[in-house]
Structure 1
Amino acid sequence: MGIAAAKWIAQPVYVLAKLNVADRLAEGEASTAQLAEQLGVRSDPLRRCLRAAASAGVFREAQPDHWALTDMAACLRTDAAMSLRDFTVLMGEEPMWTSFGSIMQALRQEGPVFDKVHGHSMYAHLAQDDELARTYQGAWAPLTQGVMRALSAEYDLSGFDTIVDLGGGDGTALRTLLAEHPGLNGVLMDLPHVREAHRNADDEVGARLRTVAGRLPDDVPAGADAYLLKNTLHCLPSPLVRQTLKRVREEMTRPEQRLLIVEAVLGASDGFDWSKLMDIEVMVNNGGREHTLEEWRALLTETGFRLVSAREVLHPQWLLEAQAV
């Protein structure tokens, strides 16, 4: 019942995240009436949402009708080191929620459900909705920072001068790598509206980061020592994954060049695995998929690469290192 009725807890937590209730409670507990007045909402529905969230350990009723943070609720603070506020809001926003309400279409017709429900792709929707686009980038940024720091600890980038991040979004992944490696230069390639925020970056890291407009699979900047594809390929349908890998292969003419793929890798057991849930997300909203390690190996071989190494860097994310052959 808890699985089937997950919306009963997910959506109350969503509205509490969107209202930034965790930020309001950061300095101490508050009553429902105080919160409602500050947030401009009705007390009774707010109380009921807080009560539902508290039943799952998100917030707690410190005294009758007075609320306080828990460790889980603290993750919803906007200033948390690994904030899940934007992630929680993204999962509950109407465009993302509506596509999941029509998940049966994924079983009946090929292609992303999001496109069928909204009449355009998720990325086209983000290009038209600035607030949702900011939430989308904010949802993944804290998790991306953690993965990139773990990658830096696991993989030696010192031999590279320039790394290109293909479909690098708001630049969080690339900026994290450049901050960890002062001798590294970076090129961020993504759609014009995504890369705009980095055009005028004037800090030390920004001085080593260049942005170019482009779209996969066609636009792959030449001359990099390493090409990074972080959680990009799983958002693409299989034919486009192959086209992208082949296009990157065309630019890799030196044996020392490397392709670095950061993606979840599906486990073989039937136990709980985040990658299996992410697989449903990209199936519904992007028409993409997650892969097993053997599927990645086969894809790379088919598109002109050899898998050099594969390691989990931060569950469920792996680093796949490939060389052109």
Structure 2
Amino acid sequence: MSLVMGAMASAAVGTAAQLGVADVLAQGPATAPELAKAVDADADSLGSVLQALTALGVFTRDEQGRYANSPLSEPLRSDHPESVRNLAALLCGLYGHAATGGLTEAVRTGTSVMPTAFGVSLYEYLDQHPDSARIFDRAMEDWARPIGTVLAEHVPFAGVRTVVDVGGGNGTLLKAILTAHPHLRGVCVDRPDTCRRAEAELAASGSADLADRLTFQPADILHEVPAGGDLYILKNVLHDWSSESGVQILRNIRRAVVPEGATPTEDSSKLLVIDPLVEHDSGAAFRNLVKMVVGEAQARERSEADMRREAKEAGFHVLSITPCPADLSITACTPV
């Protein structure tokens, strides 16, 4: 029964994340009516959600009926250094709703869940629902933050001038790298609507230095990737695509790195593929379910052997594969 009721627990966590309950409680304990007023919700309904989450240990409740954050709810705060507020809102919200509405049929037919549940792909859905798109952008920021710190600290950028992040969302990864390395310029490649939102957000941030060094370039990475980078990064992208589409994306990067008819040299741009690989991913089993929900049909978690094979098919040689935080692995590649 605990497993059966898991969807309800997930929905409750997602509701608290989306409403920003932990942000309000960061200012001090509050009753359900006080919280409801602060987050613009119905007091009785919010009270039911809070009682359930308190039973799960997410929040605490004292004898006066005041709720407070617990260590478990702290990362649901927007300002927490390891915040997962928006990631929780996405996984427990849109992704959860899609899985509930279409997973069984997708398993029967071998298709992706999103079209079964909503009639459109994930990105088409986001184009049609701006609020969900904003949560998606912020969730990708939550996912990118830990690896951004790792790359900024441990990847040698001395000989690099321009870093191109393919499928880079709102530029969180590049912002971490460019902040740590002032000599770098960055190009973030993503869908047109994502780039528009990210450009507006960067302009509103007041960071003149980053605004000068970071640009956003719309592109369909299944068809093209802009040239001009000294280092290309592909993070949390391949796992949403089938092997065939993954190889196509890698080939497009290969064409951007080495123009048609040219021969790779020692100075050719390098590629870092940052994705979960089954050998180093403690959550591989459930991550495959997420791929079924929002990824392309036949998208699955890759193994090291899969990664090496796809890189070779696309014209890259794998130099190394390094496990890193957040169950990700960094595959360093050079064109051949």
TM-score (norm. length: structure 1): 0.92
Once the two structures are superposed, the pairs formed by residues 126-275 of structure 1 within 5 Å of their partners are: 126-196=126-196, 197-198=198-199, 201=203, 203-253=208-258, 254-256=265-267, 257-267=269-279, 273-275=282-284
Which residue number in structure 2 is paired with residue 52 of structure 1? 52
Of residues 285, 288, 291, the one that matches 1:276 is 285
CA contact (8 A) 1:14 1:88 kept: yes
Matched residue SS, 2:174 = helix
Letter in 2 for 1:128: Q
Partner secondary structure for residue 165 of structure 1: strand
Distance in 2 (CA, whole Å) between partners of 1:156 and 1:105 is 47
Match among 299, 311, 330 for residue 300 of structure 1: 311
State the AA in 1 paired with 2:30: A
Contact 1:217 1:244 in 2 (8 A): yes
1:200-243 per-position Cα deviation (integer Å, ceiling 9, x unaligned): 74521221112221111222111321111111111122221111
**Deviations 1:15-72 (Å, cap 9, x if unpaired)?**
2222211122112111223223444433333222112111222110122422111112
Q: Which amino acid aligns with 2:138?
A: G
Q: Number of aligned pairs?
A: 322
CA–CA distance in 1 between the matches of 2:214 and 2:41?
Answer: 43
Q: Is the 8 A contact 2:322 2:331 kept in 1?
A: yes
Cα displacement string for residues 228-280 of structure 1 (whole angstroms, at most 9, x for unaligned residues): 11111111222211111112112323433211111111128xxx822332221
Over the aligned positions, Cα root-mean-square deviation in angstroms equals 2.0
Amino acid at match of 2:278: L
Cα distance in 1, alignment partners of residues 38 and 174 from structure 2: 38
| Counterpart Cα distance in 2 of 1:27 and 1:43 | 19
- What 5-or-longer segments of structure 2 have no aligned partner? 259-264
Q: Secondary structure at the match of 1:45?
A: helix
Asked whether 1:323 is paired with 2:334, we answer yes
SS of the equivalent of 1:72 reads coil
CA 1:155–1:40: 2 relative to 1, 3 Å = closer
| Bigger shift: residues 40-49 or 297-306 | 40-49
Report the TM-score, using the length of structure 2 for normalisation.
Answer: 0.89
Task: Report the Cα distance in structure 1 between the residues aligned to 2:98 and 2:223, rounded to whole angstroms.
Answer: 31
Of 282, 285, 295, the residue aligned with 2:294 is 285
SS at match of 1:103: helix
Distance 1:99 1:273 in 2: 21
Please name the residue that 2:261 is paired with.
none
- 2: CA distance, partners of 1:283 / 1:233: 13
CA distance in 1, matches of 2:41, 2:215: 44
Deviates more, 1:64-73 or 1:315-324: 64-73
Contact in 1 for aligned 2:191/2:218 (Cα 8 Å): yes
Q: Secondary structure at the match of 1:151?
A: helix
Secondary structure (helix, strand or coil) at the match of 1:63 reads coil
- C-alpha displacement at 1:112, in angstroms? 1.3
Question: What's the % identity of the aligned pairs?
Answer: 28
- Name the SS for the 1:83 alignment partner: coil
For 1:211, what is the secondary structure of its paired residue?
Answer: strand
Gaps of 5+ in 1: none
Q: Does 1:16 align with 2:16?
A: yes
Q: In structure 1, how many angstroms separate the alpha carbons of the residues matched to 2:154 and 2:283?
A: 21
Larger deviation, residues 166-175 vs 199-208: 199-208
1:157 offset after TM fit, Å? Answer: 2.1
Measured after TM superposition, the shift of residue 182 of structure 1 is 1.2
Alignment check: 8 A CA contact 1:112 1:286 kept: yes
Determine helix, strand or coil for the equivalent of 1:52.
helix
Distance in structure 2 (CA, Å) of the matches to 1:215 and 1:183:
28
Residues 226/39 of structure 1: CA separation in 2 closer, same or farther (3 Å cut): closer
* Contact in 2 for aligned 1:47/1:65 (Cα 8 Å): no
Cα distance in 1 between the residues matched to 2:103 and 2:95? 13
CA contact (8 A) 1:91 1:97 kept: no
Matched, 1:119 2:95: no
Offset of 1:133 from its aligned partner?
0.7
The answer to whether the 8 Å contact 2:152/2:177 transfers is yes
Q: Could you say which residue in structure 2 is the equivalent of 1:86?
A: 86
SS at match of 1:315: coil
For 1:106 and 1:157, locate their aligned partners in 2 and report how far apart those are by CA, in whole Å: 44
